[in-house]
Amino acid sequence: MALKQIDFDVKWNHFAAQNEERWIQEWLDLVRQPSVSTTGQGVEGCGRMIAEHMRRIGLEPEIYPVRPYPVIVARHGETPDRPTVLIYAHYDVVEPGDPALWKTPPFEPVIVDGKVFGRGAADNKSPLMAHLQAYEFWKSMGEELPVNLIFLFEGCEESGSRGLPEFLREHREELKADLVFFSDGPKNERNLPIIALGAKGNITIRLKLRTMNQDAHSRYAPVLPSAAWQMVELLSKLKTGDHVNVEGFYDGIVPPGQEEMDIYRSLPPVEREMEEIYGVKPICGADENYYIRLNTTPTFNIKRISSGDGRGVVTSMAEALIDIRLVEGQEPRDILEKVSSYVKFLGYHNVMVESDGGVFPSKTPVGNSYVPVISRVVREVYGDYVIYPCRPSTAPDYLWTKILEIPAIQVRWSDADSNNHAPNEHQSVAGYLKGVELTARVIREIGEMKGEKS
């Protein structure tokens, strides 16, 4: 059977106290290594660094030459009567952006007021190292782990997980598992960890509109067509108020079940915290639940509009980027085709509709048998928590549920204000060490859940 609770607690407290300074330094070393997937800066070197660390703690990683960036896989145990857990993380980061907006250099991590500042400090190098250090703890006890483990780390999550879907299809049999467990993202607005059982999908659609073969002096505004104004008019026709007008946009959506709705209605209110952060209250109808609206509604968000450079001209080109978050029942390619067809239906034959691909939405049923196990551990480590049957943002969750057909549970434990993707990204040291403990206890509890033959 898995290690008894009292024995686990004693050994965990002792080992953590002896090793936390080293664990923090190893985390800092990983943050110090650049791994920007949009440019390629340092990504392969970061992968090699992680593989070397895995070897030091007793794993035998294999680096697969997936393009554009390698996938790292390592296994521990293949005992048939033990559950197998696939632990996922990504080692790439987004670009730091304008260095003038950082208080400290993004790849020179520092600890200020108990927080590590640096690009990737939270997303996703803290969970990645926490998973490995939890494994190291179990190995230190000199007894067999109560579960089989598969570690799978990718280097392209921030750039659409390119290459990973094909890799998973090719290696589907050898990656069979009972559960995918991972951590990627911050706590909620009330600083409570989130157990997420799914994620919205995503597709970014680019609209390129041309009215003339060159810009013209603005004196011609009464007689020449403005690309800027045509784009504004087109966008207003695609969405009116809360409703997306694209024909068929809502077709096939699978509504949340009653159990999911009950969970959303039970979650603590965050309207006050939202107003403190953003200066406005969330937009919800008088009888509408904030979480139901946030987590179950597909989006049609304009994330950029551009036309001209501020000179006094009638612009000949305009471009808009539409960020669409998809819910269960919607598919990226289908939505792209529907938007393209509707633009033509409206008569805008001077518009190109493009996309580089998208991510499918994903869900693990709330009744999955691992949900109460993970919930019990999260409460033990953190106290209060919330469950999102589907998180309102996007993650490559469908890779596990729709390609490998494995349930996936994510615990989001980074600091609520960690500034993922933004300048001055950070993660508290205390929160990081709790993340190590979380994975260590998840391994124990899943092993205890099914047990093993003596």
For helices 125-140 and 43-56, angle between their N-to-C axes, nearest 10 degrees? 10
Question: Per-residue pLDDT tens for 391-439?
Answer: 999 888 999 999 999 999 999 999 999 999 999 999 999 999 999 999 9
Question: Per-residue pLDDT tens for 229-279?
Answer: 999 999 999 999 999 999 999 999 999 999 999 999 999 988 888 899 889
* Torsion on CA atoms 126, 146, 175, 401, rounded to nearest 10: -70
Whole-number Å distance between alpha carbons of 260 and 46: 39
User: How many CB atoms within 10 Å of residue 31?
Assistant: 26
**361 near 335, Cβ under 8 Å?**
no
Instruction: Look at residues 256, 250, 323 and name the one whose alpha carbon lies nearest to residue 296.
Output: 256
Q: Is 34 helix (H, G, I), strand (E, B) or coil?
A: coil
DSSP state of 220: G
Confidence at residue 413, expressed as pLDDT on a 0 to 100 scale: 98
Each residue's pLDDT tens digit in the chain (454 positions)? 456 777 899 999 999 999 999 999 999 999 999 999 999 999 999 999 999 999 999 999 999 999 999 999 999 999 999 999 999 999 999 999 999 999 999 999 999 999 999 999 999 999 999 999 999 999 998 878 999 999 999 999 999 899 999 999 999 999 999 999 999 999 998 999 999 999 999 999 999 999 999 999 999 999 999 999 999 999 999 999 999 999 999 999 999 999 999 999 999 988 888 899 889 988 886 668 999 999 999 999 999 999 999 999 999 999 999 999 999 999 999 999 999 999 999 999 999 999 988 999 999 999 999 999 999 999 999 999 999 999 999 888 999 999 999 999 999 999 999 999 999 999 999 999 999 999 999 999 999 985 433 2
Domains of the chain: 5-197+364-450 (3.40.630.10), 200-253+298-359 (3.30.70.360)
Helices (H) and strands (E) in the chain, counts: 12, 22
Can you list the alpha helix ranges (DSSP code H) found in 97-174? Answer: 125-140, 164-170
